[in-house]
Structure 1
Amino acid sequence: MVLHYSPMSQSGLLKVDKVPASLRQQVLLQMRDAIISGHLLPGTRLIERELTDQMGVSRTVVREALRQLEAEHLVEVIPNKGPFVRQLSINEAEDLYRIRAVLHGLAARMCAENITKKHLEILEDALELVIESYSNSSERTLKAKTHFYNALYKGTQSDSLKAMLETLQARIARWRTLGLAHPNRSQERSKESIINLKIIIDAVKRKDADQAESVMFKEDIQAGREVTRLLNIEQSDQKTN
């Protein structure tokens, strides 16, 4: 892999603070974040005993988390071998980004049709954070863009669409991390994304639902192409090594 992250065996990587709230939820969130961020690389075998020792919890809690992560397509269980972090598939990335392009386009349309003055201000502030984040870390950019999209979803005034998109975003998170953190990421793509988001905000402000939808669709298709390009680089490097 081109990206270099800490191996699973690193001490303390998945350590969880034992607070009364919900230990199961803490474990799930910590493991999910380790996979999405790349600390647990695709193909990593997830050994219950090691996870139990690192996190200081019971095997029952770890098993429940693994089952949930399998349902979220982040973990796959291979017969006679056990659970592994799922590999990143080019075909799956293409499918997910096409689906997101359609739903994001609809979200931008509904946002232009339904957004309130208050939500528009939140969306404009979120865009400023995205622009600022590109001069910082990829992690900050990911958080800023997630915040922007969440503001967009709220602007639709549709709880149903918001819930669907949040589920899809969780599924697509690993590819988004790759697209923003990869050392071979195109700088032109970053500039292109900012331009697209500015046009979308302007269209929403003018209540031009057609333009908001079409540019949002284009933005996601372009993002998907960049991710598949980077995945091809990853796979080529793996074959070479």
Structure 2
Amino acid sequence: MLTIRKFAAPLRRQVLEELRQSIIAGRLAPGSRLVERELISMTGVSRTVIREALRQLESEGLITIIPNKGPVVRELTLGEAKDLYSIRAVLEGLAARLFAENAADAQIAELEAALNGTEEAYRGGDAERILKSKNRFYDVLFEGAGSETLSSMIGMLHVRIWRWRALGLGHPNRSEDRWKESIRGLRAMLDAMKKRDATLAEKTTREEVTRAAAEVMRLVGGSGEVQ
């Protein structure tokens, strides 16, 4: 059962974030109905606040509005995964290229620190910490790329990608060695950026996304090929 704590201001953002994280983590399962009166009862907020949160979640692709049924947590499908990871490969590859060209030395150091934190999180085996630390790595990457438009596009994409990351981390059949492969891939990206080799940075980033897609597809069935 979803439990949303009653927060102080800014209440709207807190409620939205709690709902978003509940969907990403699977506490609100795909296909689950989001009944307004139940959400109001759990949060103690107004119908207006709940509806604003639901509209935002719909715009992020996390829920869908079904006629005569209302808001429902969006199902995870192979078609969506292939689409998301194909787009992710292109956008993150471009972000890596721009980072190599534009990032300050301090941002490169910050990216390395974020990657070290991600490796520590993987070694600790805490899924929530892994997700947070990996998100931090990508936040630094996108900021250092220096393109607000690209950062905004990737940000919207990553809200949906997070669901697949969480699925992979919690899957009983996930490869125990995949995290090591992921860290190697991220370090290859970092090394290219340190060298200011934009072409190599884009290439290694696309390759890492391809490997991530292949692992997701292996877990849920289908081909992990990303063009």
1:180 to partner: Cα distance: 2.1
Taking the TM superposition and a 5 Å limit, the aligned residue runs for 1:148-187 are 148-187=137-176
Question: 8 Å contact 1:15–1:56 — kept in the other structure?
Answer: no
Question: 8 Å contact 1:123–1:148 — kept in the other structure?
Answer: yes
Deviation track 1:14-38 (CA, whole Å, cap 9, x = no partner) reads 2322x2x332222211111111111
User: 2 CA distance for matches of 1:78 and 1:157?
Assistant: 38
Aligned match of 2:11 in 23, 26, 32? 23
User: 2 CA distance for matches of 1:163 and 1:80?
Assistant: 33
User: 1 CA distance for matches of 2:219 and 2:198?
Assistant: 32
Deviation track 1:33-88 (CA, whole Å, cap 9, x = no partner) reads 11111111111111111111111112222122112211211111221122111111
TM-score by length of 2: 0.92
The unaligned stretches of length 5 or more in structure 2 are: 223-227
Taking the TM superposition and a 5 Å limit, the aligned residue runs for 1:21-170 are 21-136=9-124, 137-170=126-159
User: 1 CA distance for matches of 2:12 and 2:119?
Assistant: 36
Tell me whether 1:210 sits opposite 2:162 in the alignment: no
TM-score by length of 1: 0.87
The unaligned stretches of length 5 or more in structure 1 are: 1-6, 234-241
1:105 to partner: Cα distance: 0.7
Question: 8 Å contact 1:139–1:181 — kept in the other structure?
Answer: no
Tell me whether 1:193 sits opposite 2:182 in the alignment: yes
User: 1 CA distance for matches of 2:155 and 2:52?
Assistant: 22
1:160 to partner: Cα distance: 2.0
- Which residue does the alignment assign to 2:225? none
User: 2 CA distance for matches of 1:68 and 1:112?
Assistant: 33
Secondary structure of the corresponding residue to residue 221 of structure 2: helix
User: 1 CA distance for matches of 2:49 and 2:149?
Assistant: 31
Q: How many residues align?
A: 221
